[in-house]
Amino acid sequence: DKGNHRHFMAKEIYEQPEVVSHTLAHYIDMSEGLVRLPGDLPFDLADLKRITICACGTAYYAGLVGKYWFEKYARLPVDIDVASEFRYREVPLEPGGLAIFISQSGETADTLASLRYCSSEGQHILSIVNVQESSIARESETSFPTLAGPEIGVASTKAFTCQLAALACLAVAAGRQRGVLAEDDERKLVQALIEVPRLMSQALKLEPRIEALAKELSRARDVLYLGRGLNFPIALEGALKLKEISYIHAEGYAAGELKHGPIALIDEEVPVIVVAPSDTLFEKTISNMQEVAARGGRIVLLTDAEGAQAAGDQPFETLVLPQMYQFVQPLVYALPVQLIAYHTAVFMGTDVDQPRNLAKSVTVE
């Protein structure tokens, strides 16, 4: 049932404040304002030397955000790879390490094969899955649910932000147990997470602006997405969503990579979507944006009021999101990026919920 929405994808985008809140409630003790993981882990987060993360597609991008979080807030090094590469890399792993597998369906063949490899190499296996009776959930030592509810649209939306919610809590728990975060730090981060559903609802109010913008984007042959730090995976996810459902060629890049190649693509015909909230990396990303502007690129800037002011009138369109802690930015900035893909596809008349050549669950490699 699509409710009042035209597509399952729209319904699922709009469900995010609610389902993310649900997922957060599963990992946070709301009365204490601290993380409380569901169940004891069969290992000590404080003893870990490194984490391996494996997933495919959108779930991989969630893992990439997780990497930034674990490294920054728990000082834990993370090796991350797409499962189709990881499974054949013959990665040497020290027994007793932690391997995390992220999957909506819990049936992705490459992710499952990577899990089995890590298991045979003596790793602790933790999965973050949406379908709790799935193979990946069953074969894990510990399986954390995402509680997004059934996701029908082939392009993943709410499962992604719920994966982020679970990973954020796990990273905070690790930071605390490893003595990187004090109780006060944890409270601040948890408070920032608790505010995410409200921030998401605010971000969804950008929809009319995005709908107008989509008309413009639908004429493009190529679209570039740029971001740094925690927002780099959001640039990747934005590009994946756009190509999946609108069939427009799109690439996500770390903003700093621009001058190492992709800048050659820029002309008046190429829209460049810049994900740049005003944070510690803002200045850097904006200077990349200016390089694009100088070559006539049409910039769409996703930022907050402070960022919009600093960026001036160079962007062709600025989408202003609420101000928020850097920690939670990817959870909220994911939404306008999903809406951009959605409305571009709707405008072009493609089959949004069942894009050509794609399956919801990839059970063969």
With binding defined as CB under 6 A, does residue 109 bind ligand F6R? Answer: no
With binding defined as CB under 6 A, does residue 250 bind ligand F6R? Answer: no
Backbone angles phi, psi at 347, to 5 degrees: -65, -35
> Both tokens of residue 298?
């049409």
Stretch in the footprint of ligand F6R (CB under 6 A) among 10-18, 54-62, 168-176, 308-316: 54-62
With binding defined as CB under 6 A, does residue 56 bind ligand F6R? Answer: yes
Minimum distance, C-beta of residue 280 to ligand F6R, in the bound complex (Å): 29
- CA 337, CA 343: separation in Å to the nearest integer? 10
Q: Do 101 and 111 touch, CB atoms closer than 8 A?
A: yes
Q: Do 58 and 237 touch, CB atoms closer than 8 A?
A: yes
With binding defined as CB under 6 A, does residue 58 bind ligand F6R? Answer: yes
With binding defined as CB under 6 A, does residue 59 bind ligand F6R? Answer: yes
> Both tokens of residue 170?
């796990």
Residue found under tokens 């494996």: 54
With binding defined as CB under 6 A, does residue 135 bind ligand F6R? Answer: no
- CA 139, CA 37: separation in Å to the nearest integer? 20
Minimum distance, C-beta of residue 343 to ligand F6R, in the bound complex (Å): 16
Where in the sequence numbering do the catalytic residues fall? 360
Minimum distance, C-beta of residue 246 to ligand F6R, in the bound complex (Å): 13
With binding defined as CB under 6 A, does residue 246 bind ligand F6R? Answer: no
What stretch of H or E contains 5? none
Binding mask 17-46 for ligand F6R (x = CB under 6 A): ------------------------------
Q: Compare residues 109 and 265 and give the one whose CB is closer to ligand F6R.
A: 109
Q: Taking phi first (over 0 means left), then psi (-120 to 50 degrees means alpha), and beta for anything else, what does residue 264 get?
A: alpha
- CA 134, CA 140: separation in Å to the nearest integer? 10
Nearest-CB residue to ligand F6R?
57
The footprint of ligand F6R (CB under 6 A) covers 56-59, 103-105, 108, 111, 155-156, 240, 244, 361-362
